[in-house]
Structure 1
Amino acid sequence: MMNWIDVAVARRNIYYENIKKKSKIIYKIISIYLSIYLFIYFSIYLFKFSYSGLLQMPLVDTRKVYDEVKDDLDRLDCSDKTLFTTQYMVKQKPVILVNCSGGWLAHKKWTFDYLFDYKEGEVHWVATYMKNLTIVEEEDNNILPTGTQLRQIYKNGGLIRIFEQLKKRTNLRYELKQHRKKKDDKGKFFEEYSQPSAILLDVFNQTGIKTDFQWMMVASKNTGTGLHLDIHNHIRTAGWNTIILGYKWWVFFPVDVNPSKLLCDPGCSQNVEHMSQMSWFTHILPQIRTRSFYGKKLIEAIQGPEETVYLPGFMAHAVMNLEDNIAIGENLILEESVFDYIYGVMLGDYALNSRYRRKH
């Protein structure tokens, strides 16, 4: 007959055995749930990594582009102002100017980090970017991203494309009225570059009138700008663009070619064309490269650091960033642009200002 001690020991052993069995069951359940969680987590992570990597990976071999693109654009020293004016501006021919920006502070200071850190990273930028597998257009986002946010997106391998209008005129008028600068004022950058000395015929520059036609472009590799014309408020503008960092692939069409019939079908490319124009460069361009437009061929060029592209008015063009890229540019109002505008007003194509249109 068992005494009470043996009974107590037996009960204790049974109790511990039950605890061990329950612990094993709980351990198995936790292990299963943890395994499922980790599987889902890493599957999502790998999917995001693969997807963003797919968008970031070169869709064409950039080294092949450098080797195969026939660069047909003339180079001209910025000091040759007379030749530039008579042979390119007056004749509406594009050209790459060299030695225009050697003394700019921008070449020493402008990097992605420098721009993202401007005013401690709190300044907002007009940007298109990829976030959570979604491409966010600047006009779709009521709250523009800050430099700190763009840095994080860029650091994590996301695509970004800043196309910031520096607005010299608007910011100056605000400062005169409010006696202070705007929070997002980027006027400091005007001190770090200047208009190329070869450009003499800009009407606004000659008369001392400030404009808002200054643009800063900061973009990831494989982003770009689709085939388009530079037109502001019905005025066809010429322009210049200087690269601070990286390389651009340009395609120029003869003056007065309408680009609307030479674009990718939105039904095929709308999900990619927001950020990258690679579809157009790899599919449309090869089909029209040898065609003539008004008896002229299109022109291609590879622009590098410290080179300045001059673009005549009403010349359709497309741009692909072959590497991470920083550039600055301005649109110009030439005499012919003013005459074209007056001619359009006389024909009734558009009014001088919406305030003067008759209301019915």
Structure 2
Amino acid sequence: MVYSVLKDDQHPRKRSREACYRESKTDRCERKIRKAKLKTRSGLYDWGKWKFSERDYWIHSFADTVPRINYQKTSKAEFIERFESKNVPVVITHATDHWRANTCWNEENFLDKYGSHLFKVGEDDDDTNVYLKMKHFLHYTKTDGCKEDSPLYIFDSGFYKDRRRAKKSRRPSDDEDNNNGRKRRKEDGFSPIELLGDYEVPSYFSDDLFKLTGERRRPPYRWLVMGGARSGTGIHTDPLGTSAWNALLKGHKRWCMFPPGTPKHIIDPPMKPHDHEGVSWFTKVFPKFRLRDDPDSHATLGERLGMIEVLQRPGETIFVPGGWAHVVMNLGMPQIYASRIRLTGFVWPDMTIAVTQNFCSFTNIEYVFLCTRHSRPKLGAKLYRKIHALAQRAPKIYGGVAAKLDMLKYVPQIPPSSDESSSSSSSSSSSESSDEDDAFYTSPHVSK
């Protein structure tokens, strides 16, 4: 008689236990995903109702007319003269060539290093942040997120913080201690704060005067942006008149931008609460800007308004001047390549990963200061004091800025744009100082 000897990992009881464990692990993951979806959009039950995943949202190459400059061949002075001082958008190439993020920021590395870390994927009805672990988010992007109209995406200003929750104490099994212990120790060796060292602010945007107010005072200003096809932000204007830069490391983004002064009722018409996502805007609002609705003009509505379209590619950094309303959507696979990809087995990189920051520079300080003085008077007062204090010690650098702020002392307040409060980038500061900060700005124009 021949006896077959089964190894421990081949024993049917052990295999069944492992199968149950894997199944329960997947169930827990999907339960947390459903919970996050319910919190972020409590009134939405059918996330695939409009079948947006079956549409092609790619931009035609002839529509992208935004100028492009080479970061390595264009000086900071030239950038300021040609674009920032004129409040004109531009796409910058080769600004990220030397970043570690070029090779480190991908799904595999994020899962390996930060799989158990929490990242913000939205807010609930009470404006409380909603988080998902990176490993759960990546599972979602490869399952339900592929089919949903407007999937969840990471838009996190605190992406560098360690938010891991302490697990409930329990006695681990021998298998978990041996097999999973190494993974836990490996993840414990990495902190999201390392992400800040994977990129650097391009020299064009290094003069951020809001740094003078301190990290606790200034509003959120930098974000990790990560999501699959059709995720993105609805139409909005960045808060406090700040300008922004957005560096794309993976995937493609579609932008549509409108210059300051564009009527809000045209670019942001009344819509249902869940229709303010980027994909809904491109589906329901954007088509009218391609129409020639004026019989006396051969130009389309978008051309008359000064609308700009951009297809942002990996390695490109887009400069968004203050006051420009914009809507952004992450792109997936173009329909024209669908049949080819099915034949070749090529996997299209649907995931987009980017980093973006808002800033106040020597060039846009006047507009930012007026907006801040109205919306955040305490923050504006502190910025005023810091600049004047530095002007005493370094008049050649800060003297001109201090003089500009003095000239604005009697300029009427600039109210924020009507959609600024709903901007995906706007947020209040985490702390407030004493009421004396507002004393400098007490005037008939300020509503308390």
| TM-score higher than 0.5 | yes
**Number of corresponding residues:** 278
* Pair 296,144 (structure 1): closer, same or farther in 2 beyond 3 Å: closer
Deviation, 1:272, is 4.7
Aligned equivalent of 2:166: none
Decide whether the 8 Å contact of 1:240 with 1:330 is kept in 2: yes
Partner Cα distance (2:213, 2:200) in 1 = 14
Letter in 2 for 1:248: K
Deviation, 1:342, is 4.3
Aligned equivalent of 1:83: 78
Partner Cα distance (1:84, 1:311) in 2 = 13
Tell me, which stretches of 5 or more residues in structure 1 are unaligned? 1-50, 129-135, 172-182
Question: Comparing both structures, which one devotes a greater share of its residues to strand?
Answer: 1
Deviation, 1:115, is 2.2
| Pair 1:288 & 2:289 matched | yes
| Pair 1:111 & 2:106 matched | yes
| Pair 1:245 & 2:231 matched | no
TM-score relative to the length of structure 1: 0.66
| Pair 1:265 & 2:252 matched | no
Aligned equivalent of 2:139: 152
Alignment of 1:107-186 (within 5 A): 107-119=102-114, 121-128=115-122, 137=124, 144-158=131-145, 159-166=151-158, 186=192
| Pair 1:74 & 2:67 matched | yes
* Pair 222,264 (structure 1): closer, same or farther in 2 beyond 3 Å: farther
Q: Deviations over 1:170-198 (max 9, x none)?
A: 99xxxxxxxxxxx9963211111111233
| Pair 1:100 & 2:95 matched | yes
Deviation, 1:71, is 0.3
Letter in 1 for 2:258: F
Q: Deviations over 1:196-243 (max 9, x none)?
A: 2333543356x6966641111001101111110110xxx211110011
Deviation, 1:297, is 1.2
Tell me, which stretches of 5 or more residues in structure 2 are unaligned? 1-45, 146-150, 163-188, 291-299, 333-350, 380-431, 440-447
Q: Secondary structure at the match of 1:126?
A: strand
Q: Secondary structure at the match of 2:285?
A: helix
Report the identity percentage: 22
* Pair 226,191 (structure 1): closer, same or farther in 2 beyond 3 Å: same
Aligned equivalent of 2:404: none
RMSD: 3.5
Q: Deviations over 1:11-55 (max 9, x none)?
A: xxxxxxxxxxxxxxxxxxxxxxxxxxxxxxxxxxxxxxxx66667
Q: For the pair shown, which has the larger CA radius of gyration, 1 or 2?
A: 1
| Pair 1:219 & 2:224 matched | no
Deviation, 1:314, is 1.1
Partner Cα distance (1:246, 1:291) in 2 = 30
Decide whether the 8 Å contact of 1:76 with 1:95 is kept in 2: yes
Q: Secondary structure at the match of 1:335?
A: coil
Decide whether the 8 Å contact of 2:255 with 2:310 is kept in 1: yes
Decide whether the 8 Å contact of 2:241 with 2:371 is kept in 1: no
Letter in 2 for 1:325: T
